[in-house]
Each structure stands twice: as C-alpha cells, then as structure tokens.
Chains A and B, each alone.
Chain A
Amino acid sequence: MQPVIEVQNLSKNFTIRYREDWRVYTYSKQAVRNVSFSVFPGEILAIVGESGSGKTTLGKMMVNLVRPSSGQILLNGQPVQRLSQRRFQPLRHLIQMVFQNPYASLNPMMTVREHLEEALRLADVTDPHAIEQEIQQLTQLVKLSPQVLTEYPDQLSGGECRRVNLARILARRPRILILDEPVASLDFAIKQIIVDLLLELHQKLGLTYIWISHDLEIVQAVAHRILVMFDGEILEEIPRDGSRRDGCGHPYTEILFTAAHRLHTWEQEDFSTLGAVLPQPTAGTTMASRERGCRFRSFCQRYRTIGRPKLCRETPPRFKTVSQNHLVRCHFPWIENPEVTPK
C-alpha cells in the first residue's frame, strides 16, 4: 500500500539566544532528530512522548507551520517541506491539524457560526443556503447542539469546544487529521465521549489520524501503531496487538506503561520505586553531554542493572526488529532477561 505521508530523516533545530551580563549566548536545541516513519491511509498512528519530546513540533512540521531544518516530508509522494504557504494551500484540504488548546485555537470574539462559515467559505461553499445546510450537517456530524452556534468560545464547555474545533476543520473535508492531545485535560466522562466521537468519524469518513498524546492507556486502546518519542527521537514502534507480547520493549516505554498503569488503578501503589525509574538527572549531567552512545542511558534502569555496558556508552543504538513490525531502538531490548544479548 502507498503511504499517504512519508517522513524521511526529519530534523528541526531551534536556535535560542539569551543574554546574561551583557553577553549574548546562543545555543541550539534539537527538537526533532532524524525522524523517519510513514503513515498509511485509514490508519490511526499514535505518537507518544512526554512534553518537550518534540511531538507537537513534528505535527506542526507536517502542516507546514514550522519549517524543518533538514529531511523530507512526502505527502502522497510529493515533497512539501520547502513549499511556501501559498504553494501549500491546495494541500490544506488534504491534511489538517487540531491544536492542543481548544479555547486558544478559536477567536474569542467570533461566534461558533462565524467560525464555521469562515471555514466553509474556504471550501468554496458560498451560497448562504448551502452554508446553512453544511453547518447543520457538520453540527450533526460532531454531535453539537444547534444552540451552541450563537455562542462565543468562552461560553463553551471543554467538550463542546473540542467539537467546534473538529467541525471547523472537517468543513474543509480533510483526509488526514493530526490530533494534538485531543483528550488531554478533559473530564473523565467527556474524554470517553470525545474518543468515541473521533473513532466514529474515523469509521464514517475514512480519515487517517496521527494521534499525538502522552497517555499510553487511551492510545493503546485506539491506535493501530504507536511511535514512542523521547527527546526528539523515535525509540520504539509498537504494532497494534503485538505490544510487548514478544517480551521486548524499550525501557522508556516501560516507564510510560508503568506510570500510566499505576495511576489508573485505585490501589495505593508505591510510587517511590517508580521514582527511581523516572527520568531524573544524575548530578552534573545534561542532555548536551550525551552526544556519544545511547542518549537515554542516564535515565535508564536497565542500563544500571546490567552493569553499565560499554556498548551503551559508546555506540548510539539503531532500530532492531524484535518481531514483526515491532522496532526497538535499544541495544538490550529484552525485558525479562536483559543480560541475554540479542542475536
């Protein structure tokens, strides 16, 4: 099958300048490092990682809001990474992004109806009667009540606001949606409802999702494939059902799983043991000093238990295929017995 999006060796550097005692310092932060993956039509691809791991930047690069420093993005086989906003314009009805903060991504001075009308006019619906019909269809599609149309974004609840954002974007009839934290900071009940709505839309409209999230629990339930990102790098690619069935996994994914699992049970779990596994810097180490070897190793429990092998310190790990479609970027991907070196 032909992938709709193909990302090849994508990187993004941010240069940050700051002043201290009349001297200007510059440092460059690599938000996304050499990321490659492809998205197939009709798929739900999840990108999981902590805040600051570059997943939002990755999403913004795909809709041409942030320009990549190097690498390629192919949309339907067409390279788009160097296109100007105007050249990208015809592709915008193919790929759209739903932003993280639903309130901030609506203009607080415009009613919901005005937002929808604006988006519809972009999709070349100009006849007022047709606009009216389209608005009705859209509100039914995302299950908004018609009273909401006359309200301003600040009057909406969190769930309604997400729906309005969705409706506004669906007005352009995109094929691919990039969902940036679609259910973060929502109430438990509304979270379920929005997830259900998104899945229903996926079925009904045959959309492709790139689902950016930090919550492995939800993502596991919905996604076909999961990419785990850490500090701008993809550490693991987990296929739908084969997650950890083969007894392999990256230690970072392990941490994410454990944290999510322990937070979602009612029992008083002991978090101090988890605290040792959590990313915690040892004294004097920063990310910048980790250019050689595995970048994750200062946070890695497995690295410590197997006696800090030289392999981790010297060689940056490559992707290892541990089972079908399951790739792990670790020298020792075995969970049970990491001392056993992989064949």
Chain B
Amino acid sequence: MDLMVEGVSIALQRGEELAYPARRISFTVKPGEFLGLVGESGSGKSLTMLALLGLESCSPGVVEGRVRYRSEQGQLYPLEGLSHYVRWHGGLPRKRTAAWQRTVYRRMKPLLGRRIAIILQDAHKTLNPFLRIEDQLLEMVARQGRADAEKAGWWGRWRQRRSIHQQLRQEALRLLKALHFRDPERVLRAYPHQLSGGMAQRVSLALALASRPEFIILDEPTTGLDVTLQAALVDLIRQLKQERRLSGIIVSHDLMFVGKVTERMAIMFSGELWEIGPTHNVIHPDFPWKHPYTSYLLSFARQKRRGSAGPAFQNVLWQRPKQGCPLRKSCPVYLHQLDMEQRRQCDSADPSPVPVFPEHYIRCWQYAWEEQKHAAGY
C-alpha cells in the first residue's frame, strides 16, 4: 500500500455549530495506481487532501484517524489520531488538534516535494511572482540529482557550474516539451504573470514532476485547461504511470476526466465517501450496482446536450440529520422507489459500506438489504 487513510475526520467550527467536511474517510492507494476523488465543489475533497498532508490549518482541523505513507523502502510514517481524546472529553481539544496538525506537517515535510508532489488548485498562486519560471523550475530539477552533486563537493560544483546549469536547463526544457509547450525557451524566461491560466497550470505540473516524485496529488488539474490540453494531460498521466510506476490521487469534479486516468474512484459528497470501487465499474453505465448519487453524477456526464437531470442532491454539511441516511431528503430512490418499510430503515440509521463487487463498496441501504437476503440464503 502506498497511502493508507484510515477513518480520518476533519472538523470545522462556525459559531457553535460543528461540521465535518471529511467524516471517517478511509481509502488506500496501491503502488502504480491512481485514485480519483470525485465530488461537487463544497464536498470537502480538496480540504481532505490538504489536511492529510498537514497543509491545511483550518480550525479545529483533523480530529481523528491516521494516515500512513509507505515508501518503497518500507518505512512507515504512522500518524496517530486523537479519537480517544474526543471520545473521553466529548469535545475537540483545540491545542491538541493544532499539535496534531503540526506533527502531521513535520512528518510529511521530508516527503513533500521529494516523494510526494502536490499540485494545488490555483496555479498562479503556487508560483512566486518575483522569480522567473527558470529559477523556480531549475531549483526543483536540481533537487532530484542532489546525490551526485553532493559527491562532487562545493569546489567541483563551482567548477562545473556552467555545465550543471546547462544540463538542468536541458532537463527542464525536456519536461516542458513533454507538457506540450509551444515555446519552452520563452516560458522559461517568463515571469508567472506573463503566463495564461492553462500555461501556469502546466508549469506547476512541471514543477511537481521535476523532482521525480513517486506519489502525486493533483487538486483539480483540469480547471484552467482547454480540452486539447486535458486530452494531453490524460496521455501524460498514462505515460507516467507506465514509465515511472507513479501512483497518486486526483481530486476533481470532472467525472469523465478522472475516469480516463484512474484505476479506482471514490465518490464524495457533503464530506462523506459514498462509493469507492474500480473506475470501470463506477462509471460504466451498464454496471448494475450504483449509489443514487453516482447515477445522478453520471446522468450529467453522459448527456451531451442540454436538459435537466432531476432535482439536485442537497449538501448537508451543516444541516446533517441526527439519524438515518443524511442524503435521504434529496435521494430520488428514497423519494420515489422505496416502500414504507424500507424508508423506515433509511430514516433509522446511517448505512455502512457494503461490498457489491471485489473491492467495490457502496454506502446505501439498497445493497445492504440485498446483502442480508444473500446471507439468509435467498
């Protein structure tokens, strides 16, 4: 397992209300595999990713769960949670969660930018406005060849500075060409404000790939990109997976884009995971078992022309019902297909994940009943 996320919850406070933009999120990413985290905006997917890396300092922050990142050398970075603390004190200890956040950051820091690369949503903000792209990119390119450079010593490095610079520059140019830049030389000389949104997005991708990471996290990679560049990105990620056995997470609202490049897909809405399974199963229109929310998403993605796709699901981040399935108020299956007995079941308890296929879990009562019938020998 490359990344194991076990029962992570993130809390937010607004006045006296508490909300969980991530509630008991668990998933694993296997080596050489990409996981897609799909959901609407406001479903907490970006926040989850940032918090897992200790980058988001929301208050009170991560309150329970653990994250393990296991590199190929077999090192473990366990990050213990505070669930026992919450359980005992019935509240969120602010000081302790801040300390936890710091711990996460301290443990993740040696990995970030070396083994784990992250590409944030707003590309223009990730680039330093006062440095040329060249200065920023060469710094990252230089990072991966550190070991050789260390051996050469400072005198050796000084003597070979020209050739080292040239090598790094060539490497950077190669990288930019792979990202379909028309004129990489000009891009290297430019300052960030001279780049358009799509170009900045690709430059930040180049920055992330420059240090040759083994795990990559892409947060909304398609926002500023044109369709042609999106297609190119699909091609690029597939190539990287083949060549470097790169694994990673793609956080996006674009179901179809994520479906092109990932092996497994998780559907997130209002801070909870509803379905996680092989991508092919999740987005295949003929696959019989689907969470109602997934089919709602698919109905948008599949129809090309305009037209309404039924009433929208309501985000219940702040108005989560105390009991029962939180989505039932706007779930078309609950509203139109179920009988009274089944609805009572939906009202009474939160559904737990049900396996419908190897490694494919759905959190919906419909499949729990099928499971029970199956166990009873029907």
Residues of A whose CB lies within 8 Å of any CB of B are 16, 18, 20, 50-52, 100, 157-158, 184-185, 187-189, 192, 195-196, 199, 214-217, 221-222, 255-256, 259-260, 262-266, 268-269, 271-272, 274-275, 278-281, 286-287
Cβ–Cβ contact B306 & A196, under 8 A:
yes
Alpha-carbon gap, A158 to B362, bound state (A): 29
Q: Which residues of B contact A50 (CB under 8 A)?
A: 198, 226, 228-229
Q: Which residues of B contact A157 (CB under 8 A)?
A: 41-42
Q: A266-B283, A281-B177 are in contact. Are A274 and B231 (CB under 8 A)?
A: yes
Chain B 127-159 interface residues, beta-carbon cutoff 8 Å to A: none
Q: Which residues of B contact A271 (CB under 8 A)?
A: 231, 234-235, 238, 260
Cβ–Cβ contact B259 & A266, under 8 A:
yes
Q: A196-B306, A281-B182 are in contact. Are A185 and B194 (CB under 8 A)?
A: no
**Quick one: which of A195, A215, A260, A287 contacts B183, CB cutoff 8 A?**
A287
B255 at the interface (CB under 8 A from A): yes
Cβ–Cβ contact B182 & A259, under 8 A:
no
Cβ–Cβ contact B304 & A188, under 8 A:
no
Q: Which residues of A contact B312 (CB under 8 A)?
A: 189
B285 at the interface (CB under 8 A from A): yes
Chain B 263-297 interface residues, beta-carbon cutoff 8 Å to A: 280, 283-285, 297
Q: Binary interface profile of B, 155-193, with partner A (CB < 8 Å = 1, else 0)?
A: 000000000000000000000010011110110011000
Q: Which residues of A contact B228 (CB under 8 A)?
A: 50, 255-256, 259, 278-279
Chain B 222-247 interface residues, beta-carbon cutoff 8 Å to A: 223-232, 234-235, 238
Nearest B residue to A216 via CB reads B227
Q: Which residues of A contact B300 (CB under 8 A)?
A: 188-189, 192
Alpha-carbon gap, A52 to B235, bound state (A): 21
Q: A51-B199, A51-B224 are in contact. Are A189 and B40 (CB under 8 A)?
A: yes
**Quick one: which of B182, B280, B301, B305 contacts A221, CB cutoff 8 A?**
B305
Q: Which residues of A contact B238 (CB under 8 A)?
A: 271-272
Cβ–Cβ contact B182 & A279, under 8 A:
yes
Cβ–Cβ contact B189 & A18, under 8 A:
yes
**Quick one: which of B41, B190, B256, B309 contacts A265, CB cutoff 8 A?**
B256
Cβ–Cβ contact B302 & A266, under 8 A:
yes
B197 at the interface (CB under 8 A from A): yes
Cβ–Cβ contact A278 & B194, under 8 A:
no
Q: Closest Cβ of chain B: how far from A182's Cβ, in Å?
A: 14
Cβ–Cβ contact B198 & A51, under 8 A:
yes
Residue count of chain B within 8 Å CB distance of chain A: 54
B105 at the interface (CB under 8 A from A): no
Alpha-carbon gap, A260 to B222, bound state (A): 13
Cβ–Cβ contact B304 & A264, under 8 A:
yes
B85 at the interface (CB under 8 A from A): no
Q: Closest Cβ of chain B: how far from A342's Cβ, in Å?
A: 26
Q: Which residues of A contact B199 (CB under 8 A)?
A: 51-52
Nearest B residue to A20 via CB reads B189
10 additional contacts (CB under 8 A) given A255-B228, A266-B285, A279-B180 = A185-B220, A188-B300, A192-B306, A192-B308, A196-B306, A214-B226, A221-B306, A256-B227, A265-B256, A286-B186
Q: Which residues of A contact B66 (CB under 8 A)?
A: none
A-B residue pairs in contact (CB < 8 Å), sample of 28: A18-B190, A50-B226, A51-B224, A51-B226, A52-B196, A157-B41, A184-B224, A187-B40, A187-B41, A189-B300, A192-B307, A217-B304, A221-B304, A256-B227, A256-B228, A263-B231, A263-B234, A263-B257, A265-B256, A266-B259, A266-B284, A269-B260, A271-B234, A272-B238, A275-B232, A281-B177, A281-B181, A286-B183
Alpha-carbon gap, A262 to B231, bound state (A): 8
**Quick one: which of B42, B197, B234, B304 contacts A51, CB cutoff 8 A?**
B197
Q: Which residues of B contact A221 (CB under 8 A)?
A: 304-306
Q: Which residues of B contact A265 (CB under 8 A)?
A: 256
Cβ–Cβ contact A158 & B235, under 8 A:
no
Nearest A residue to B283 via CB reads A266
Q: A217-B304, A263-B227, A263-B231 are in contact. Are A287 and B41 (CB under 8 A)?
A: no
Alpha-carbon gap, A256 to B223, bound state (A): 17
Alpha-carbon gap, A185 to B40, bound state (A): 11
B253 at the interface (CB under 8 A from A): yes
Alpha-carbon gap, A216 to B189, bound state (A): 32
Alpha-carbon gap, A50 to B230, bound state (A): 11
Q: Which residues of B contact A281 (CB under 8 A)?
A: 177, 181-183
**Quick one: which of B194, B197, B230, B254 contacts A259, CB cutoff 8 A?**
B230
Cβ–Cβ contact A259 & B304, under 8 A:
no
**Quick one: which of A18, A187, A192, A214 contacts B227, CB cutoff 8 A?**
A214
Nearest B residue to A266 via CB reads B283
Cβ–Cβ contact A215 & B227, under 8 A:
yes
Nearest A residue to B180 via CB reads A280
Q: Closest Cβ of chain A: how far from B85's Cβ, in Å?
A: 32
Cβ–Cβ contact B235 & A260, under 8 A:
no
**Quick one: which of A18, A52, A263 contacts B198, CB cutoff 8 A?**
A52
Q: Which residues of A contact B256 (CB under 8 A)?
A: 263-266
Alpha-carbon gap, A275 to B220, bound state (A): 21
The 10 A-B residue pairs whose C-beta atoms are closest, nearest first, are A51-B198, A214-B226, A188-B300, A259-B231, A185-B223, A275-B235, A271-B235, A259-B227, A260-B227, A51-B196
Alpha-carbon gap, A195 to B186, bound state (A): 37
Cβ–Cβ contact B301 & A266, under 8 A:
yes
Q: Closest Cβ of chain B: how far from A287's Cβ, in Å?
A: 6
Alpha-carbon gap, A157 to B41, bound state (A): 8
Alpha-carbon gap, A212 to B253, bound state (A): 22
Alpha-carbon gap, A99 to B223, bound state (A): 16
Q: A260-B227, A265-B256, A280-B180 are in contact. Are A274 and B235 (CB under 8 A)?
A: yes
Q: Which residues of A contact B181 (CB under 8 A)?
A: 281
Alpha-carbon gap, A272 to B238, bound state (A): 9
